[in-house]
Amino acid sequence: MAKYLVTGGAGFIGCNLARYILDKGHDVVVLDNFATGKRENLTEIADRIELIEGDIRDRDTVDRAVGGCAAIFHEAALGSVPRSMEDPVTSHDVNVNGTVTVLESARAAGVNRIVFAASSSAYGDQKESPKHEGMVPLPISPYAAGKVSCESYLQAYAAGYGMETVSLRYFNVFGPHQDPEGAYAAVIPAFVSRLLAGQQPAVFGDGEQSRDFCYIENVCNANWLAAGAPARQCAGKVMNIACNARTSLNEILALLKELLQSDVDAVYQDQRPGDVKHSLADVSLAAQAIGYEPKVFFEEGLRKSIDWYRENLG
C-alpha cells in the first residue's frame, strides 16, 4: 500500500481519480481550496481520505500534503478557457505559479513522479488532424498558454533535476461529478442537465465544432498507468489522452434527444473567443509510453453519465 496526493481532488477529475486510487487499495491525500472543487464530491469517501484544505500556491500547505507520498497527481487548476479570457492574470497565477510550487515542494520532499493534467487546448486551432505531440503548441487562450507553460516546467524539472514528470493532455473529459451549472460548465453536463429539466441547451457557434470526448474512466486509468510506468518510457514526456474519435455538438444533441426521449431544441449563440473548432487526438504515443488505450467510448460513457445525472440532479 502506498500514499498518493491528488491536488484538486474535490474537482471533477480529481474526485474520480481519488476514488480510482482508493479502489486500488492505496491511501489518498486530497489537497483542495474549494475555489472550484465541491465538498459534496468527497462526501462518499470523506472517511477514507486525508483532506488538506489549502491553496497550491502556498508552499507550507503543499509541503504538508506532499510528505510521504509515492507520487503526485496534479489536477488542481483554475479551469475554463472563457474564464481565462476574462481574467488572465488570476488564471496564470493559480495554474502556472501553483504548478511551480508543487514541483518545488515535490523536489524538496524527494517525490519524483508527478503526473500533470495538461490540456489539448495547447494545440490551438491548427488544421492538422489528428493532433499529435510533435506539433508545435499554438495556444489561443491564456488558459492554454498557462498549461503549455506548465508542461515546459515539468520537462525542465525532468531534465534539470532528474524528476519523473509526465504531462497528460486531456481531450474533453466527461462523466460523473462534472458540474452542470454556471457560466463555465462543460458542454455534456450542461446539455444533459438542461434537457432533463425540459429546458433548451445553449450552443456557442453552429454546433458543427467537434471534440474528442474522453470518458473519465479512461483518464483515471491513464493517470494510474503514467504513475507506474518505467521512467525511461515516460519521464519528461507530454502525451495525448483521448479516444481518437470525434463527435460534433450537433451529433451529441441528436443522441441525447434520442436517449432522453426529448423534443427540446437547442438555442444557438455566437461562438466564444478562444474556443477551438475541432479537436481529434492521436493517442499512439500514450499507447507506446504507458500502455494506454481507451476502454470506454463515447456512447457508453454518455449513457453512464446520464444515469449518474438522473440520480444526482436533485
Q: Provide the annotated active-site residues.
A: 143
Residue 32 backbone zone (phi > 0: left; psi -120 to 50: alpha; other: beta): beta
What cell numbers appear for 91 in the block?
488564471
Asked whether the beta carbons of 151 and 49 are under 8 A apart, the reply is no
The three-state (H, E, C) secondary structure of the chain, written as one string:
CCEEEEECCCCHHHHHHHHHHHHCCCEEEEEECCCCCCHHHHHHHCCCEEEEECCCCCHHHHHHHHCCCCEEEECCCCCCHHHHHHCHHHHHHHHHHHHHHHHHHHHHHCCCEEEEEEEHHHHCCCCCCCECCCCCCCCCCHHHHHHHHHHHHHHHHHHHHCCEEEEEEECCEECCCCCCCCCCCCHHHHHHHHHHCCCCCEEECCCCCEECCEEHHHHHHHHHHHHHCCHHHHCCEEEEECCCCCEEHHHHHHHHHHHCCCCCCCEEECCCCCCCCECCECCHHHHHHHCCCCCCCHHHHHHHHHHHHHHHCC
